[in-house]
Structure 1
Amino acid sequence: ATIANIRLMDPNVLPATFRQLQQIKPYYTFPDSLDVDRYMIDGVKRDVIVAVRELNIAGNPSRNWINDHLVYTHGFGFVAAFGNTRDADGKPSFAVGDLPPTKGLGEFQPRIYFGENVPDYSIIGGVKTDSPVEFDYPDDASSNGQKNYTYRGTGGVPVGSLVNKIVFALKYQEQKLLLSSLINKDSKILFERNPRERVAKVAPWLTLDGDPYPALIDGKVLWIIDGYTTSAGYPYAKQISLSSATSDALTANSSAITAQGNQSINYIRNSVKATVDAYDGTVTLYQWDEKDPVLATWSKAFPGTVTPKSKISKDLMAHIRYPEDMFRVQREILSAYHVKTAAAFYGGQDFWRVPRDPSTFGANASAQPPYYLTLQMPGEAKPEFAMTTPFVPRGGRENLSAFAVVNSDSGPNYGKITVLQLPRSTNVAGPSQVASNFEAKPEVANSLSLLRQGGSDVVLGNLLTLPVGGGLLYVQPVYVRATSNSAAYPLLQKVLVSFGDQIGYDDTLKGALDQVFGGNSGTTSTTGGSTPTTGTTNNSLASALASAKQALSDGQAALAKGDFAAYGRAQDRLKSAIASAIAAQTKK
């Protein structure tokens, strides 16, 4: 189940691809980092990379006050690409895209008046006429090449009266607000349009997660923002810097992520899930942690501000995620406080740290960010949407110490953190070592060297760590981008896989896994290839595969029981069985 859901599309690599394939016009844009969510598509829950097509005033070739504030007022559309599928050229496969939007995820209101990249103010609405002023979206079928629109939502403040015109003219130091004939008695002005900032205005007592994400909820585009209650006064609890604990390659390199402020805390709870309607700006604060006394106190101080958890719709509940900054704080604490004895804690020899990000995005300069993906943990009955992070020892060594997963599907296991701690006697490569092993393999090194020549560059995607059977599988997508063309964008061309001592490198995930598992990875090509071969055409191969299967099963059972000695023995048997299977496959 984990292998079938491996996410090859990297949300930190795809922004350039989204811009070239889905931006459509220069006055639209996408953020520097995209988001990962999951949707039911044709009865199957799929990981998807999502973003909204926002307005980019700076890209409009005809800049003036009227165009900036009365004509170009909103973005248009929601774009979603499958996380584990590409086309034959390496481009992502889109579930929703284009203008007007395709309906792969159903009907929805596509206009984005409230977002992360909107003008400071827009004047919208007004008297409905046969000649609407607002640009809606380009349309070749129309005589003027575009569709226009008049806003009909509830958002905005009336600006038609002389008094209100004067107030806003003074606020924005703009006399055209008083003089423009396009502003009439029914016009309204939109401001405070950034979702995170909008929630902060409504609930300044919340600390907000740095990464709001869009979702299609009940026919609307809603921004979802996690809110925390925090304190520095909890008795007998360790103080940490929120800024330091949540800093990693994503917060350091992406303008789409808001880094946390430099405040000390020793209490944090994800007490609120906030939503902002991208069309009318409605802010709703939903109670999430029903036992948080801090939230209960704020709710008494501002009655009616927070909506009960029971009011969260089924559709919204399906898109709730475990918050990134919360998990970053927890992994910082877990790196030391997993130690169970005072002597070991005092010595600090078993402390962990988050490894540096070996992807091109992270460039080994900052900690690896946590990753969202669907996987099945040992002992669990089915795959779940989760967030993952690896750990390596503190002190410079790069071998893997542990692997942590937090369940991100709203349900009974939501927020459950599972830690797979490796035996100290077992030397399993960590992310940086695996990345080095990839480049050290002659076949891989030669191929990457060729791909980096002739006006092209290689972009290494997120290096995912995944529990598979009784071991840990590493998967890294390899993108190629032309350097001589300003309109070029990364295309997924290769996949790197590591399991134990085996490395796979192929055009497809299936091919790379088959190299590692001797032609029996149990997956199909992400480009719609044929059913994988079973590799059971001779007795030697069948025996080796049976041994590998049993070793995988034994290792999974050992991890579920916490029997790491048995896990180590199963790993040794698995490596031997894989080697035998590869040898048998070669003789075919």
Structure 2
Amino acid sequence: MRDLAALFGPFAAGGSGGGRGGSGSGGGSGGSGGGGGRGPQGPRAPQGQGGRKRSPLTITLFVLAVLVTVLTWLAGLWTDWLWFDSVGFRRVFTTVLTTRALLFVVGFVVVAGLVASSMAIAYRTRPIYVPTTPAQQVLEQYRQAIEPVRRLSMYVVPGILGLLAGSAASGQWQTFLMWRHGGDFGTKDPQFNLDAGFYVFDLPFFRFVLGFATIALALALAAALVTHYVYGGIQLPGRGPSTRTAFIHVGILGALLALVRAGVYWLDRYGLTTSEGRLITGITYTDANAVLPTKAILAVAAVMCAGMFLAAIWTRSWRIPIIGVALLVITSIVAGGIYPALVQSLRVRPSERALEAPFIQRNIEATRYAYGIDEIERTSYPAVTEAEAGQLRQDAATIPGIRLVDPNIVSPTFRQFESLRPYYAFPEILDVDRYNIEDEVADAVVAVREINLAGVPASQRNWVNDHTVYTHGYGFIGAYGNRRTGEGDPVFFSGGLRDDTGAGKFEPRIYFGELSPLYSVVGDSEGTQPREFDYPDDEGVGGNVLNTYDGEGGVALGGFLRKVAYALKYRELNFLLSEFVTSESKILDHRTPVERVERVAPWLTLDGNVYPAVVDGRIKWIVDGYTMSSRYPYSQLVDLQNATSDSVTERTNLISVGQGRINYVRNSVKATVDAYDGSVSLYAWDTEDPLLQAWDKAFPGALTPLSEMSGDLMSHVRYPQDLLKIQRLLLSQYHVTDAESFYTGQDFWAIPNDPTQPGQDQPTYYQSLAMPGQDSPSFSLTTTFIPTGSGREILRGFLAADADAGTTAGQKAESYGTLRLLELPRASAVDGPGQVQNQIEVSTERSQDPSEQLNLSQFIAQNRQSGRQLTFGNLLTLPVGGGLLYVQPMYVQSAREGGSFPQNKATIAVFGKEVAWGTTLNQALDGLFGGDAGASAGDEDVTPDPETDPGEPREGDPVALAQALADMEKAYADGEAALRAGDFAAYGEAQARLRDAINRAVQASPSELPEPVEPTDAAGEDAGTETDAP
């Protein structure tokens, strides 16, 4: 009983306690077995030899550093609370904070408590006397060396380990909340007959608990072993007996650790449902018949090992637990590794196809459900390849909507026509949406004109201008997707500085956007002179209109403490010193749409493509949110980044949906961010998703019911690109639903490379089309498939996701999200995108435009050799005319730097083996289908601009040309001078004169000039400060 009392005795303090190891003589642990007791006073720390005194300055600086660190942390915490309160998601902040704090405290207490108690028990129960052996004499030197810091280390070591453990535990807050609020999926796995919710919600938390317990007990055991050894409680074999209390202490910890390992082995059985194998994710024949039994055997062996640790308490020998650990290791090697390998080699491989078929079938069914591809509509599509006159007559509703404007190419064109000033910018990749313009729904390429501080002259860059003047962008720009001008430019239905355009009347200011500054200080007392730059206007003060923000968004900066908090957060004294930060000021921060949604819904994974839309009189950013898991049983794991990468994301470094591996996904939330006030709404889009239901319970009130979504917003919701990219990767294999055919892989497909960007997957494309069986075209997201491992690239599949959610408030269209797959026969003669691109580039077909004298390959070569930049646009595929029609715009851009922009100079159409092209798509289609396609394209009424048509010779006007060139030079010089002086009104006036001179120079130029539009490019180069905002 003395041993047990000593084991659980009070924490030793100071230098008091039992006798010192090595300070006694002979004796050993004798009849008492070395049992602990309070011994004589231990050695004292040397007196009169304190460390060098710290200077007051050093102490002061250290205290100040600690104080600033703590205050900065508190400032960040408080400003975060203020931000969440301002957007109406305070409960999200408090729930996450309290959950993380709870897990941190539990993790800290468990690890720090176990380690500290182990060290205290081992020290408290150290033997009174230890043998005087050479080993103990060496240890005595260590004991003497650590004695001055022993008491401190009893707190510091457990404290540091506790902090690390608490931090790790707090990072599992999502796992904890999922376990606490998760429910059932309604589907059971075929192996254990457990609901999928156990694997998604419960199993991850159980494994975390056991893993954490393993680490905690291992640290406690290590602390016990080290402390017992240093103070003589544990002796190496042949150097004396260990104390009984050491056997009790180590035996109990070892037994607990072994029991935890038994639990880990047992849970590993369920973890096999998401293990990755050579063929599939999930349990295979070897797993079911070899690994599962051995996991159970290992669990039993671990329990027996725990018993051997407890036996050491009575036998007072380390031999039994050592043997137990050795046997457990040997068992794990033999039963867990060698035996399954033998089963796989000797039993499975000779008959793998038959034996694995039932398990492959499980994987197929689970994968198709988990990725939402189980209810796909499949249609056999023989696809004719012969083009005949009138063949597109049945598709007369689809042909006019074919998109000619490539959103991945025309950003420089938007900048040229709509940037207005160098401090405005557009993203490199624009977005595709649809708008009802003059009672006709049309596909559109859209963007917003955002503020770009990099475009502000360096002489004008300062804190006041950066954070209180240039605060927001202005305007929504939209171009018809199916139209072009005679010169090949987009036709805009919304643009300029108007707030009443083809997109309707709306609030045009962009305070929250993808390019917004880090933060802005806005707002002021009523009646105060506005100072925020709003938009340029020659009739305004200094050529500009100014504005004062009056929106609901932002955090008020009225109190002194709030100003201090933000000064600490952003390390900026101007919050305290600037006259522009008043009692009525607000701060707008965390301004990008993705960041705002991530903060209020950290449990969502967001789509990489955020797009703006004019909704109910406001510009709103629409963000697609996903709930994902990597624990759905038997579903195939995929790498998220690899699945969502394509030629666009690689070329622009566009952020894709995320990283990691998943095997379940749902587009469960449609989020919006108001571009003016920053308000965030999270609409529950897929209410049947068990993951969304769990998060709704964890954060009640965070989600907005779908019934509250307006019809206007519903009309701009679309099927997300990243989701279809994930689904097409899985569908390339999992269109095969028979296990034996799946095993052979002979009918697997692949995603074709983008023919315009070799080596990268072709993107998915938004376009309006009618699939076979549809009465009218619908806004869709499309992709294609080719055979995998085939030397010849032919088309095997065409997939369209219905991306139109309808226009009814609170109710999405029944057809939304429907996946329709056209499957072409194996002997298909329809070429894939790569082959089609090759046909285009070597084609000798003459243009359908009579003014063009070159054939297609010559036209391509001439533009490339003349120094111009020729770019092939998106190669769209459409199921029309009983076959597959390919359409591709060609853009030509001057190679001259500054001011040049791409123009759609030709459009190509391919059907079967036939290639046709012309200045317009309408010309190309008529040429392709025997002179009459039977349907007209959206550019039917477009004719080439005679002023730039090289087929119509012009004599030119030398006098007018000379005057225009002189005016260009004068306007350019005036503009440069105004820009250096920071006079933007004068700069804008000079640019207007420059553009007028350019137009006059073009009209006066003879057609024999090597590049008729060169003066435009040259002037654009001069005006590059205005048009080429970064």
The answer to whether TM tops 0.5 is yes
Could you tell me which amino acid in structure 1 is paired with residue 557 of structure 2? V
More helix by share: 2
| Partner Cα separation in structure 1 for residue 485 and residue 566 of structure 2 | 50
- For residue 436 of structure 1, what is the aligned residue in structure 2? 838
Out of 241, 245, 255, the position equivalent to 2:639 is 241
8 Å contact from structure 1 (residues 287, 307) kept in 2: yes
Deviation at 1:262, TM superposition (A): 2.3
Percent identity between the two aligned chains: 50
- For residue 804 of structure 2, what is the aligned residue in structure 1? 409
Runs of 4+ in 1 over 6 A off after TM superposition: none
| Partner Cα separation in structure 2 for residue 274 and residue 406 of structure 1 | 20
Could you tell me which amino acid in structure 2 is paired with residue 517 of structure 1? F
Could you tell me which amino acid in structure 2 is paired with residue 357 of structure 1? D
Out of 378, 381, 390, the position equivalent to 2:784 is 390
8 Å contact from structure 2 (residues 656, 722) kept in 1: no
Deviation at 1:527, TM superposition (A): 5.9
Could you tell me which amino acid in structure 2 is paired with residue 492 of structure 1? N
Question: Which structure 2 residues correspond to residues 119-518 of structure 1 after superposition, within 5 A?
Answer: 119-129=517-527, 131-255=529-653, 257-359=654-756, 363-396=757-790, 397-410=792-805, 411-442=813-844, 443-518=855-930
| Partner Cα separation in structure 2 for residue 394 and residue 168 of structure 1 | 56
Deviation at 1:488, TM superposition (A): 0.2
The alignment partner of 2:582 has SS state of: coil
Could you tell me which amino acid in structure 1 is paired with residue 513 of structure 2? G
- For residue 429 of structure 2, what is the aligned residue in structure 1? 33
Deviation at 1:469, TM superposition (A): 2.2
Matched, 1:20 2:423: no
- For residue 528 of structure 1, what is the aligned residue in structure 2? 941
Q: What CA RMSD, in Å, does the superposition of the two structures yield over aligned residues?
A: 1.2
- For residue 83 of structure 1, what is the aligned residue in structure 2? 481
Structure 1 residues 188 and 130, CA, compared in 2 at 3 Å: closer, same or farther? Answer: closer
The alignment partner of 2:483 has SS state of: strand
| Partner Cα separation in structure 1 for residue 500 and residue 551 of structure 2 | 23
| Partner Cα separation in structure 2 for residue 458 and residue 173 of structure 1 | 48
- For residue 103 of structure 1, what is the aligned residue in structure 2? 501
Could you tell me which amino acid in structure 2 is paired with residue 282 of structure 1? S
| Partner Cα separation in structure 2 for residue 311 and residue 326 of structure 1 | 24
The alignment partner of 1:85 has SS state of: coil
| Partner Cα separation in structure 1 for residue 697 and residue 427 of structure 2 | 38
Question: Which structure 2 residues correspond to residues 552-571 of structure 1 after superposition, within 5 A?
Answer: none
| Partner Cα separation in structure 1 for residue 754 and residue 596 of structure 2 | 32
8 Å contact from structure 1 (residues 36, 50) kept in 2: yes
| Partner Cα separation in structure 2 for residue 260 and residue 78 of structure 1 | 26
The alignment partner of 2:877 has SS state of: strand
| Partner Cα separation in structure 1 for residue 713 and residue 504 of structure 2 | 15
Deviation readout 1:225-249 (Å, 9 max, x if unpaired): 0111111111121111111111111
- For residue 552 of structure 1, what is the aligned residue in structure 2? none
Could you tell me which amino acid in structure 2 is paired with residue 171 of structure 1? K
Matched, 1:46 2:448: no
The alignment partner of 1:181 has SS state of: coil
8 Å contact from structure 2 (residues 668, 692) kept in 1: yes
8 Å contact from structure 2 (residues 877, 887) kept in 1: yes
8 Å contact from structure 2 (residues 796, 824) kept in 1: yes
The alignment partner of 1:327 has SS state of: helix
Deviation at 1:524, TM superposition (A): 4.6
Give the structure with higher Rg (CA).
2
| Partner Cα separation in structure 2 for residue 365 and residue 461 of structure 1 | 17
Could you tell me which amino acid in structure 2 is paired with residue 510 of structure 1? N
The alignment partner of 1:518 has SS state of: coil
Unaligned runs of 5+ in 1: 531-588
Deviation at 1:318, TM superposition (A): 0.5
Could you tell me which amino acid in structure 2 is paired with residue 14 of structure 1? V
8 Å contact from structure 1 (residues 54, 74) kept in 2: yes
Matched, 1:68 2:462: no
Deviation at 1:449, TM superposition (A): 1.1
| Partner Cα separation in structure 1 for residue 927 and residue 643 of structure 2 | 39
8 Å contact from structure 1 (residues 87, 527) kept in 2: no
Could you tell me which amino acid in structure 1 is paired with residue 818 of structure 2? K
8 Å contact from structure 1 (residues 36, 372) kept in 2: yes
| Partner Cα separation in structure 2 for residue 245 and residue 524 of structure 1 | 34
| Partner Cα separation in structure 2 for residue 342 and residue 133 of structure 1 | 69
Could you tell me which amino acid in structure 1 is paired with residue 656 of structure 2? A
Could you tell me which amino acid in structure 1 is paired with residue 873 of structure 2? G
Deviation at 1:17, TM superposition (A): 0.6
Could you tell me which amino acid in structure 1 is paired with residue 583 of structure 2? K
Unaligned runs of 5+ in 2: 1-396, 806-812, 845-854, 944-1030
The alignment partner of 1:137 has SS state of: strand
The alignment partner of 1:25 has SS state of: coil
| Partner Cα separation in structure 2 for residue 483 and residue 529 of structure 1 | 26
Could you tell me which amino acid in structure 2 is paired with residue 3 of structure 1? I
Structure 1 residues 111 and 197, CA, compared in 2 at 3 Å: closer, same or farther? Answer: same
8 Å contact from structure 1 (residues 127, 186) kept in 2: yes
8 Å contact from structure 2 (residues 471, 532) kept in 1: yes
Structure 1 residues 281 and 143, CA, compared in 2 at 3 Å: closer, same or farther? Answer: closer
| Partner Cα separation in structure 1 for residue 634 and residue 528 of structure 2 | 67
8 Å contact from structure 1 (residues 2, 466) kept in 2: no
Deviation readout 1:389-421 (Å, 9 max, x if unpaired): 011111153211111000001111111111111
Deviation at 1:54, TM superposition (A): 0.6
Deviation at 1:425, TM superposition (A): 1.4
Deviation at 1:525, TM superposition (A): 6.0
- For residue 8 of structure 1, what is the aligned residue in structure 2? 404
| Partner Cα separation in structure 1 for residue 574 and residue 610 of structure 2 | 34
8 Å contact from structure 1 (residues 128, 150) kept in 2: no
The alignment partner of 2:641 has SS state of: helix
Deviation readout 1:49-89 (Å, 9 max, x if unpaired): 00110110010112111110000000101000000101111
Could you tell me which amino acid in structure 1 is paired with residue 702 of structure 2? T
8 Å contact from structure 1 (residues 406, 416) kept in 2: yes
8 Å contact from structure 1 (residues 85, 92) kept in 2: yes
| Partner Cα separation in structure 2 for residue 74 and residue 128 of structure 1 | 20
8 Å contact from structure 1 (residues 378, 469) kept in 2: no
8 Å contact from structure 2 (residues 752, 834) kept in 1: yes
| Partner Cα separation in structure 1 for residue 938 and residue 752 of structure 2 | 30
| Partner Cα separation in structure 2 for residue 520 and residue 461 of structure 1 | 25
Could you tell me which amino acid in structure 2 is paired with residue 488 of structure 1? S
| Partner Cα separation in structure 2 for residue 447 and residue 17 of structure 1 | 22
So what's the TM-score if we normalise by structure 2? 0.50
